[in-house]
Structure 1
Amino acid sequence: MTIDHVTLLPLYAASGTAILVLLADLLIARRPAVLGALLLGGLATAVGAIVAGDSRPPTFCAAGNCSWIPSPTAVVTAVLFAALTVGVLALSIPSLRLGTAPVGEFCFLLAASMTGGVVIGYSGDLITLIVGLETLTLPLYILVGLRRYAPREPVSSAGASASITFFLISVVSTAIALLGAALNYAATGVIHLDLLVAGFGPLTVLAQVGVALLVVGFAFKVAAVPLHAWAPPTYEGSPLPIAAYLSTASKLGGVLALAAIVARLDAAPITAALAVLTMTVGNLVALRQTRMVRLLAWSSIAQAGYILAALVLGAAGIQAAIVYAVLFMVLEFVAFAAVVALRPVAADGGDIQSYRGAGRRSPWLGAALVLAFAGLAGLPPGLAGLFAKVTVVDVLIDQDWGWLAALVAINAVIGLAYYVRATAILYATPPKPGIQFVDPDLLEAATHPRLPVARPVAAALIVAAAAAVVLGFAPQLLFDALS
């Protein structure tokens, strides 16, 4: 077996970050030291991925089959996982200062999840892929419900309920994926991704069933129908920064896992069915949402449907799917960061009506949220989102999947309704204080002051918004990085 340690730099940096955070918490036990360890580790992971690059030889190889394979996609996604980890840390700092969660445990779990994300991008076999996916997901079960309530704060079961919901459905999806991998191995005798085949002889049907189960199991990570019901209550019950991580990094891991399968095996029929159901159900249910986080959750489900539509094409649609996923992650993070900045520290996302007039009170925050909504809807000035949708539609038409491209376009039009509604509320005239309000959310909008934005939150929002603008005007940068 050959091992190239330079190729493994991203893994060493990510896993070393988790160890460093743990030691900093045990030996120094000071919040700045723990936060600094995670920040430095996240930056080191991104630098390690760039330094190792995609030209290094694969490692963990035996008989010509490798389990750790560098590629342009692996480098880009490793950098993105590291950036999302640092961004979520920045969004969490104000609430961590209040003691809403134990800092050491929080940062260790976040670093462990980042390590799983890095492993997914470089995976060369099914075992490594599934282990990476579970390493990404397992810490999130705890992070969703990891809260330390203040003495005067009423204890809520929302976090625990969200954590249990997430855990139970995830266990089912993991079992489905493992069964699919086992059936495919029984039929073909291979686990390395480059050797995967659809089966042969009398075992072809068994292998095809295994492929279908793998797709369904991995589809849970992107909250695809029918394994989508966990996302809205889990996002709503999580702290806002963790909801942002679930909606971005966790979903990216699922996209990479699905891409690894559909690029090598024919799963077009089941992927197409999942894509149509996911984008349609996500958009239709989002029309009825009155809570901001649930709106973003159902919106992210619909966005997952667009990504699945590109994955229907197999290898021909992988680049379009990854481009869409990366641009969506950036815009989704901008949306959650703006929500964090507009809400009181450690508060939930609130009702959509409580944002009434928020764009007037805080023009820059309102502009950032509009940029995110416009991009997710595929409208200017969110050029990144517009380009992402055009990329998916274009590749579908080129590959003679015109009917699916038409459904993507129709669903994008349906999605305009709730994005425009949320944007209009931001700039609606706020209700005047002193009036008797029946709706408590209108009362909150009337009396809600302009809140100061913590510097880490402002920095994360500015960087993410700048990245969205740059990628909107120069998407070729992303294509070049993925090539």
Structure 2
Amino acid sequence: MSSQSVGHFALLPLYAAAGTAILALLADLFTGRRAAITGVTLLGTLATAVCAVLAANAEPTFCATGGCSWIPTGAAATTAVLFAGLTAGVLAFSLPALRIGTAPAGEFCFLLACSMTGGVTVAYAGDLITLIVGLETLTLPLYVLVGLRRFAPTERVTSDPAAASLTFFLISVVSTAIALLGVALNYVATGVVHLASLGPAQASVFAPIAGVGAALLVIGLAFKVAAVPLHAWAPATYDGAPVPVAAYLSTASKLGGILALVTVVSRLETRAVVTILAILTMTIGNLVALRQTRMVRLLAWSSVAQAGYILAALAIGEPGAVAALAYAGFFVVLELVAFGVVVALRPQGGDGGTLADFRGAGRRSPWLGAALILAFAGLAGLPPGLAGLFAKLSVVDALIDANWTWLAGVVVLNAVIALAYYVRVSAALYTLPPRVGFSVADPVLLDEAIHPHLPVPRPVAIAVAAAVTAAVALGFAPQLLLNALT
């Protein structure tokens, strides 16, 4: 592929993702029908996944001296398929809320498709500029999506979506500025932006500048995965956003940040910074999660802790990259299951509720309770959540092989701490509420009186079932994902 030509075949996934956003707008303009808009968007996610598979072996494009800016690989194709699947799942979770008018379907689907386009760009990025542009394209639409819950019925919303959106925006702007400053300093010191040529600066007068640039770049990207100290936005934003959007933040948005970190950390010498971030992130995330009383906030702090495990694998540099990517793949699927169950168990258009709102939910909806138990077991790294168990073992094994046994011990210790809140919530699913103020003799009728059973919308049920199937399949055949990511 010459530097003057453009490989359109390699760009098929990007065309499909961007075309999905355009078609969602056109469907809204010419039909105004919610079914047409959401149908086009869902078909667009499928087309994006198919195009990613077809173009997996295409030649790189936008090439110049030093490397190429768009690099199709098997790992990139797998990640693009994962982004498309997460987008489809979140859209399915949102359909019941869109049906009752909590947000305009056209704007919602357009913004979601734009965010998917950014995720695809991150997956195929071959230089730092494309990587940053992809991350911002992934993140920018989410500022608006977080605040779209202002259309929801006020009695179903207990948090402030506008404040959540503003918090997310301000911290994101600061982190992006830090990341761009890191890219600039690294370019000044090395003259390199293509990932293929990226590496630690050789001994020279510019080596300290390159080191500072690499550290700033990692710190800026750490925001995307809600790593400490750039984590404070996550709980407030997750709890203030519509629950499906919080699911997207916790899965697709975090996956984009992880990909960017893996790309940078595996090529630059940033072990000290990443090690400190990993220890602080997993420890603070788990300790604060112990005190949470709201479901989405608990999932948010759990997500912070999970990011710490991924950073622990990245602390050893390139040898831990595969383990980090595998952990990310398992984590986002399990997190999607957890958020999908929360959507199914809560009123349409409502927030995530408190932990008390989920007491007895496993009795009222056995299969949803089982799905949430599976997700929590996987996130904790226990059977029957085999996908999460393999993910934890892959990180610990990579650390031990690199003679970082002490950090592996920190990971195991934090995994034990996390058991406390996962077990507490899991037990609540099958615990009957107290009888105070009620004279109902039958405890099941009492449970139904306090927390009435809600019918599960069909799109949510299908999406949760698909996510559970993917989690179980990955648990029994983890090598499939591992091979796809390498």
TM-score (norm 1): 0.96
- In structure 2, the residue matched to 1:365 is 368
- In structure 1, the residue matched to 2:106 is 104
- In structure 1, the residue matched to 2:185 is 183
Q: Does 1:312 align with 2:315?
A: yes
- In structure 2, the residue matched to 1:424 is 427
Counterpart of 2:408, as a letter, is: A
Q: Deviations over 1:126-152 (max 9, x none)?
A: 110000000000000000001353677
Contact 1:355–1:445 under 8 Å retained in 2: no
Q: Secondary structure at the match of 1:147?
A: helix
- In structure 1, the residue matched to 2:337 is 334
Picking from 303, 308, 312, the partner of 2:306 is 303
Q: Deviations over 1:278-322 (max 9, x none)?
A: 000000000111110010000000000000011112111111000
Contact 2:226–2:307 under 8 Å retained in 1: yes
Q: Does 1:461 align with 2:464?
A: yes
Taking structure 1 as reference, are residues 325 and 151 closer, same or farther at Cα in structure 2, changes over 3 Å only?
closer
- In structure 2, the residue matched to 1:440 is none
What is the rounded CA distance, in whole Å, between the counterparts of 2:190 and 2:276 in structure 1?
26
Taking structure 1 as reference, are residues 444 and 217 closer, same or farther at Cα in structure 2, changes over 3 Å only?
farther
- In structure 1, the residue matched to 2:442 is none
- In structure 1, the residue matched to 2:450 is 447
Picking from 368, 377, 382, the partner of 2:380 is 377
- In structure 1, the residue matched to 2:391 is 388
What is the rounded CA distance, in whole Å, between the counterparts of 1:152 and 1:369 in structure 2?
27
Taking structure 1 as reference, are residues 151 and 339 closer, same or farther at Cα in structure 2, changes over 3 Å only?
closer
Q: Deviations over 1:423-479 (max 9, x none)?
A: 01111123348529xxxxxx9985211110000000000000011111111101111
Contact 2:360–2:447 under 8 Å retained in 1: no
Counterpart of 1:182, as a letter, is: A
- In structure 2, the residue matched to 1:86 is 88
Contact 1:354–1:444 under 8 Å retained in 2: no
Contact 2:265–2:317 under 8 Å retained in 1: yes
What is the rounded CA distance, in whole Å, between the counterparts of 2:330 and 2:52 in structure 1?
20
Taking structure 1 as reference, are residues 120 and 475 closer, same or farther at Cα in structure 2, changes over 3 Å only?
same
Q: Secondary structure at the match of 1:67?
A: strand
Counterpart of 2:279, as a letter, is: V
What is the rounded CA distance, in whole Å, between the counterparts of 1:214 and 1:71 in structure 2?
24
Q: Secondary structure at the match of 2:68?
A: strand
Contact 2:338–2:376 under 8 Å retained in 1: yes
What is the rounded CA distance, in whole Å, between the counterparts of 1:13 and 1:390 in structure 2?
36
Counterpart of 1:262, as a letter, is: V
Taking structure 1 as reference, are residues 445 and 228 closer, same or farther at Cα in structure 2, changes over 3 Å only?
farther
- In structure 2, the residue matched to 1:439 is none
Counterpart of 2:395, as a letter, is: V
- Which stretches in structure 1 are left out of the alignment for 5+ residues? 437-442
- In structure 1, the residue matched to 2:443 is none
Contact 1:149–1:155 under 8 Å retained in 2: no
Picking from 196, 205, 210, the partner of 1:207 is 210
Q: Deviations over 1:348-372 (max 9, x none)?
A: 1111011111101110110000000
Taking structure 1 as reference, are residues 347 and 6 closer, same or farther at Cα in structure 2, changes over 3 Å only?
same
**Two-structure CA RMSD over aligned residues (Å):** 1.7
Q: Deviations over 1:174-209 (max 9, x none)?
A: 000000001001111111111123224101000000
Q: Does 1:255 align with 2:266?
A: no
Q: Does 1:407 align with 2:375?
A: no
Taking structure 1 as reference, are residues 152 and 109 closer, same or farther at Cα in structure 2, changes over 3 Å only?
closer
Q: Which is further off, 380-389 or 192-201?
A: 192-201
What is the rounded CA distance, in whole Å, between the counterparts of 2:154 and 2:281 in structure 1?
41
Q: Does 1:356 align with 2:359?
A: yes
After superposing on structure 2, the runs of 4+ consecutive aligned residues of structure 1 that deviate more than 6 Å are: 154-157
Picking from 48, 51, 54, the partner of 1:51 is 54
Counterpart of 1:196, as a letter, is: L
Q: Deviations over 1:215-234 (max 9, x none)?
A: 00000000000000000000
Q: Secondary structure at the match of 2:199?
A: coil
Q: Secondary structure at the match of 1:96?
A: helix
Contact 1:199–1:206 under 8 Å retained in 2: no
What is the rounded CA distance, in whole Å, between the counterparts of 1:374 and 1:477 in structure 2?
21
Q: Secondary structure at the match of 1:60?
A: strand
Q: Deviations over 1:230-276 (max 9, x none)?
A: 00000000000000000000000000000110111111110000000
- In structure 2, the residue matched to 1:113 is 115
Superposed counterparts of 1:213-232, under 5 Å:
213-232=216-235
Contact 1:433–1:446 under 8 Å retained in 2: no
What is the rounded CA distance, in whole Å, between the counterparts of 1:444 and 1:169 in structure 2?
42
- In structure 1, the residue matched to 2:194 is 192
% identical equivalent positions: 68
Counterpart of 2:175, as a letter, is: S
Q: Deviations over 1:58-101 (max 9, x none)?
A: 10112352100112221111000000000000000000000000
Taking structure 1 as reference, are residues 155 and 396 closer, same or farther at Cα in structure 2, changes over 3 Å only?
closer
What is the rounded CA distance, in whole Å, between the counterparts of 1:199 and 1:386 in structure 2?
37
Taking structure 1 as reference, are residues 264 and 27 closer, same or farther at Cα in structure 2, changes over 3 Å only?
same
Q: Deviations over 1:409-430 (max 9, x none)?
A: 0000000000000001111123
Counterpart of 1:51, as a letter, is: L
Q: Secondary structure at the match of 1:61?
A: strand
What is the rounded CA distance, in whole Å, between the counterparts of 1:44 and 1:373 in structure 2?
31
Taking structure 1 as reference, are residues 225 and 155 closer, same or farther at Cα in structure 2, changes over 3 Å only?
closer
What is the rounded CA distance, in whole Å, between the counterparts of 1:482 and 1:276 in structure 2?
25
Contact 1:142–1:163 under 8 Å retained in 2: yes
